[in-house]
Amino acid sequence: MTRERRDAYWKRNLGIVLKLLLVWFVVSFGFGILLHDWLDNFRVFGFKLGFWFAQQGSIYVFVILIFAYVRIMNKLDIEHDVHED
């Protein structure tokens, strides 16, 4: 693998990680703390939505983001021909 391809792969990897971390930050900090009062006007499974995001929602989103990262990175690995057989 040439240096240019390796740098391009690493740049795409960092971009993916930063985007997924941004989603996690918005869900956990934004929905669970900053927008807590506004989201409490809505209910999910009988709980106020702000409370649900603070207690459960951010954890669920984090697990979903892990699976999304694996899937996205598998595609990126194939695209850059660094995948495992």
Q: Give the pLDDT confidence of 11-68 residue by residue, as tens digits.
A: 999 999 999 999 999 999 999 899 999 999 999 889 899 998 888 889 999 999 999 9
Distance of CA 18 to CAs 3, 21, 22, 25, 83, Å? 22, 5, 6, 10, 22
Number of domains in the chain: 1
Q: Is 85 part of a structural domain of the chain?
A: no
Residue 25 located in a structural domain: yes
In-domain check, residue 31:
yes
Q: Is residue 84 part of a domain?
A: no
Residue 15 belongs to domain spanning = 3-79
Residue-level pLDDT at 37: 92
3-state helix, strand, coil in the chain (%, to 5): 80, 5, 15
Decide if 15 is inside a domain: yes
